[in-house]
Homo-oligomer: A and B are copies of this chain.
Amino acid sequence: MDFATLIGILVGVGLIGGAIVMQGIKSETSFTVFAEPISFMIVLGGTLAATAIAFPLKEVLRIMTILRAIFKGGKEDLGPLVDEIVEMGTVARKGPKDLEDALDRVRNPFLKDGLQMVVDGYSVEEIRDILGTRVEYREEREMTEANLFKAMGKFAPAFGIIGTLIGLVFMLKGMGGGEDMASAIGSGMATALITTFYGALLANLFFLPMAEKLLTQISSKSTQQNMITEGVCLLQMKKHPLIVREKINSFIPPREWKRMEPGAGA
């Protein structure tokens, strides 16, 4: 569970909500003026409609699954994984049988599949090729998901402006020279601007940060899987555990290294 995401949303919503309430008190207007169902419908509905046009149904329906992944966060701590791979290296040097027995202890499914290929006797080239292709196409699939949120982050402000334009046009059409013109204009424009507000808020507090999060998770998962691929290949080559550690350590920051030798630079 990555609490930063949850905290971020709570703080952001609380902050904007609080600001609205405080400004409302200061200007002696109820904060309920910000509750405009039609405006919200235009922004969220329009954004979802544009997204449904832009992406395959299958992807759109996965939004909930993706959201859960965003909140769960990636446990990208690579240090223990380095230890596990090095340990498996020691096992693998005994023989494929020992490695097969040890497979049950492996939790990371990608590492498990890689070690299984070592047990099954795939060549280093085949392992690198198969695992590499998996990484490449996983990245591509997940990029589609990140793009989906990025697109929502672009559509939301656009529909915010579209909604504001609708409001403005009617306000302007109805504009007359009457006594309370200023009041009518003011009220009309306020309502119209709320749609822009919704669009900007949805984009900048939800869709765009989530798209960014997905991108970071994709890149972090690829680092992990590339490290595993490299480690499994070294295992298949029966390299000495010290060399295995030295090599896959190069994927993680020096401050997280565990090794005997002193001196490490980034």
Contact = CB atoms under 8 A, between A and B. Distances in A.
A263 interface: yes
A253 B141 contact: yes
A4 interface: yes
Contacts of A5: 52-53
Nearest to A180: B177
A203 B250 contact: no
A54 interface: yes
Contacts of A177: 179-183
- Chain multiplicity (copies): 5
A197 B113 CA distance: 54
A7 B175 contact: no
A46 B12 contact: yes
Contact of A193 (B49, B169, B201): B169
Contacts of A154: 208
B144 A208 contact: no
A129 to B, nearest CB: 7
B155 A204 contact: yes
Contacts of A230: 133
A69 B203 CA distance: 30
